[in-house]
Chain A
Amino acid sequence: MGKISVVHYINQFFGGIGGEEHANEPVQVSDGPVGPGRALQQALGADAEITATIIAGDNYFVEEVGLASKAALEALRRHAPQVIVAGPAFDAGRYGLACAQMCRLAQDAGIPAVTAMTSDNTGVITYGADIVAVPSGSSPAEMQSIMAKLAGIAVKMGSGGELGPADGEGYLPRGIRKPLVREKSGAIRAVDMMEARLMGDSFTSEVFIKQYDVVQPSDALGSLKEKTIALVTSGGMVPRGNPDRLSNARAEGAFRYDIEGVRELTVEGWESVHGGFNTRWLNTKDPGYALPLRAVRELEEEGAIGKIHNTYYATTGNQTAVTAAKRMGGEIGRELLNQHVDAVLLVAT
């Protein structure tokens, strides 16, 4: 097997050009390793060779995305490496972001890439799901050990190998979970882990906690007197007889029902088909508990709000897949925006 060819990406500081004042340096390419690239080459040993180093100012790479990408891609085409190594960026946020972008660029061009930075670096926070990043501390004093880790992963990827689980290979989890048959049963592992905690021994949790997406809050509305409010419910509230056959669980979509001129939802006219809780009160006393139309109509009549949107949306929030919920929410949101609705009251069950 021939040597794996590697292209290394570093910023203006590590590239020896200068400090903060050179953060706008455009992309330049040098042959062979530069600066800390020598430590990387040493770690790579005889298996791989850094054929070129791409250097760019942190600001340039992040702000002049178009030009920077063009120049970087041109360099990748010319040198045709089998793997890219970017950084390490340690705790430098813009450098981390630039490294992450470099990795994504390379991956889009079909070249595997690996970088290193702190686990809370902006580069990880923004692009963590898309890149392979070795976690580091903040100090360049650990350069040697980080380069050793980067080299190991780079050689594996560069020779066409598949990366194993994050914990084993030493990179940050990307929120991709795959089945694995472990050595011992879950019960034994649980008692083992509990014992470790009691003894103060180290242990590794089997679930890397991943949160949901962060959604920017929309700005507060001013007066509601001219505003249109739409109603949405996941309480499975539909016209009696469930004409569209809304499912009582695992719904894939929402249905739209006309409430123009309807003052309130009555037990005679409406029902909940939700299969996840006791719908007795909704179906024999007041469907309004899951869609408070009467109360909102009163406020509409009093002039507290402009008007209620003529259509309400109903789905069943029982065992719904996250993907389906996201899609539904997006569809409903876009539809309502197109119809100039200002706000939504969503009753969740």
Chain B
Amino acid sequence: MSALPMIPLAVGANRIVRGVRVEHVCGDPALSEEMDRALTRRIVQTALGALQTQVDGPTLFEPSEGVAQKEAVHAS
């Protein structure tokens, strides 16, 4: 989970989730607490989704609105 995906992509990590900023990778203190926690959850869910996704090499996963739905499908 990295705010600077260029680095793990180059180093060869195979599953990478884009974080927010180096100083706060898994969230955003500029948001309200509610939105910040929702963002953290989305980032973590994207990471879990990545673990369940087959990849051929270094792949970047973007936290997006669609993750929550995807998670529901996989967790069943």
Whether chain A touches chain B in the assembled complex (some CB pair under 8 Å): yes
Stretch in A148-156, A248-256, A281-289 with 4+ CB within 8 Å of B: A281-289
Q: Given A215-B12, A345-B47, A289–B27 Cβ distance below 8 Å?
A: yes
B41, A221: Cβ atoms closer than 8 Å = no
Q: Which residues from 296 to 333 on chain A have a C-beta closer than 8 Å to any C-beta of chain B?
A: 296, 298-299, 303-305
A218, A229, A295, A304: which contacts B71 (Cβ < 8 A)? A304
In the assembled complex, the CB of B17 is this many whole angstroms from the nearest CB of chain A, namely 9
Most chain B CB inside 10 Å of its own CB: which residue of A298, A343, A348: A348
Interface check B34, CB cutoff 8 A: no
A278, A288, A346: which contacts B1 (Cβ < 8 A)? A346
B19, B43, B56: which contacts A217 (Cβ < 8 A)? B56
B29, A281: Cβ atoms closer than 8 Å = yes
Find chain A residues with CB under 8 A from B57 CB.
214, 217
Q: Given A279-B23, A303-B75, A298–B54 Cβ distance below 8 Å?
A: no
Contact with A along B19-53 (1 / 0, CB 8 A): 10011111101000000110011011101100111
Q: How far is the CA of A253 from the CA of B8 in the complex (A)?
A: 19
Q: How far is the CA of A277 from the CA of B23 in the complex (A)?
A: 6
B26, A225: Cβ atoms closer than 8 Å = no
B48, A220: Cβ atoms closer than 8 Å = no
Q: Given A215-B14, A288-B40, A304-B75, A299–B26 Cβ distance below 8 Å?
A: no
A235, B52: Cβ atoms closer than 8 Å = no
28 intermolecular pairs with C-beta atoms under 8 Å apart = A211-B12, A214-B57, A217-B14, A217-B15, A218-B14, A223-B74, A223-B75, A224-B74, A224-B75, A229-B48, A277-B22, A277-B23, A281-B29, A282-B24, A286-B36, A289-B26, A289-B29, A292-B26, A294-B37, A295-B44, A298-B41, A299-B44, A304-B45, A343-B51, A345-B47, A347-B25, A348-B19, A348-B25
